[in-house]
């Protein structure tokens, strides 16, 4: 199980009975074997695949859910999306992973996904963080054992969090994180930004806790 990289932008997933794969709708490039694709009713995280009604309700509130489809049967599927780079992240089940919904390409269907309202973590500040970073107020949280394929512009690099040094990420370059991490919006705005002479790094995501954060080499959103 898991995803195999075919090129930096295409992954291959093996599908077996009981090992279904959930993917962004329309991301299938090719498939071989006996594979059936069906839309996931109730939005991502809803229906039979984890999350339950609460998650699909939360999705509904968001209004811009990325539609998912499930691949079932026996065979293999190639996934890719708009020529974006794909990063495969394997989870051993000990820590959850959070990823921006737009950047989720595919994941094992036996992982449970839930929609996390960022506001729950940090109250009003969390909501502000979502609004400021333009990531919406919801991210998809995946937990359990399995493999996740994440989209990025130009590929990602991983930064370990938990050392003595504080890690700060540009909100537009943030892709995903694994582990028990806390993200806080820090504003380093000064009078310079107000007069148009800012450094362009006025809004930053401060990452604290223990885990790994994935960052892309660009500030482009998907």
Partner 1 sequence: MPWRLETPRVLVVDLDGSKTSAVRAQTGSMVAYEGDVQFKNAGMGGGGGLRAAFKQRVTGESLSLMEVTGRGTVHLAVDAGYVLVLDLAGDVLKAESEGLLCLANSLTTDVTFTGLQGASSGQGLFTTTVTGHGQAALISLGGPPIALRVTPQTPLVVDPDAYIGCVGNLNQSFVTDVSWRNLVGESSGEAFSLRFEGQGIVYIQPEER
Site of interaction with partner 1 (CB under 8 A): 85, 153-155, 157, 159, 163, 165-170, 173, 188, 192, 197-201, 213, 215-220
User: What secondary structure letter does DSSP report for 126?
Assistant: H
| Smallest separation, CB 107 to partner 1 (Å) | 23
Comparison of 57 and 168: residue with beta carbon closer to partner 1: 168
| Smallest separation, CB 198 to partner 1 (Å) | 6
Q: Are 69 and 33 in contact (CB under 8 A)?
A: no
| Smallest separation, CB 204 to partner 1 (Å) | 8
Comparison of 106 and 215: residue with beta carbon closer to partner 1: 215
| Smallest separation, CB 106 to partner 1 (Å) | 21
Give residue for tokens 């293999």: 76
Comparison of 143 and 218: residue with beta carbon closer to partner 1: 218
Comparison of 128 and 159: residue with beta carbon closer to partner 1: 159
| Smallest separation, CB 207 to partner 1 (Å) | 9
Q: How far is CA 215 from CA 63, 167, 198, 207, in A?
A: 26, 11, 23, 12
Q: How far is CA 74 from CA 35, 36, 41, in A?
A: 6, 9, 22
CA gap 5, 11 in Å, rounded: 4
Q: Are 79 and 29 in contact (CB under 8 A)?
A: yes
Q: Are 6 and 78 in contact (CB under 8 A)?
A: yes
CA gap 173, 171 in Å, rounded: 5
CA gap 2, 13 in Å, rounded: 6
| Smallest separation, CB 194 to partner 1 (Å) | 12
CA gap 146, 57 in Å, rounded: 25
Comparison of 36 and 188: residue with beta carbon closer to partner 1: 188
Comparison of 146 and 211: residue with beta carbon closer to partner 1: 211
């Amino acid at each position: 199980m898991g995803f195999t990289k075919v090129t930096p932008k295409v992954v291959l997933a093996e599908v077996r009975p009981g090992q279904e794969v959930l993917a962004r709708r329309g991301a299938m490039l090719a498939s071989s074997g006996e594979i059936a694709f069906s839309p996931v009713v109730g939005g991502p995280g809803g229906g039979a695949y984890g999350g339950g009604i609460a998650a699909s309700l939360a999705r509904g509130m968001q209004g811009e859910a990325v539609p998912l489809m499930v691949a079932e049967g026996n065979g293999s599927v190639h996934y890719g999306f708009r020529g974006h780079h794909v990063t495969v992240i394997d989870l051993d089940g000990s820590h959850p992973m959070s990823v921006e919904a737009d950047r989720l390409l595919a994941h094992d269907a036996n992982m449970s996904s839930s929609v996390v309202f960022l506001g729950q973590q940090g109250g009003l500040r969390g909501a502000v963080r979502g609004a400021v970073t333009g990531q919406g107020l919801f991210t998809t949280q995946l937990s359990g054992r399995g493999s996740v394929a994440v989209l990025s512009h130009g590929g990602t690099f991983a930064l370990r969090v938990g050392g003595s040094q504080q890690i700060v990420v540009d909100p537009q370059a943030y892709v995903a994180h694994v582990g028990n991490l806390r993200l806080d919006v820090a504003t380093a705005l000064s009078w310079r930004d107000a007069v148009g002479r800012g450094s362009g790094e006025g809004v930053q995501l401060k990452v604290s806790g223990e885990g790994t954060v994935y960052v892309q080499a660009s500030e482009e959103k998907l």
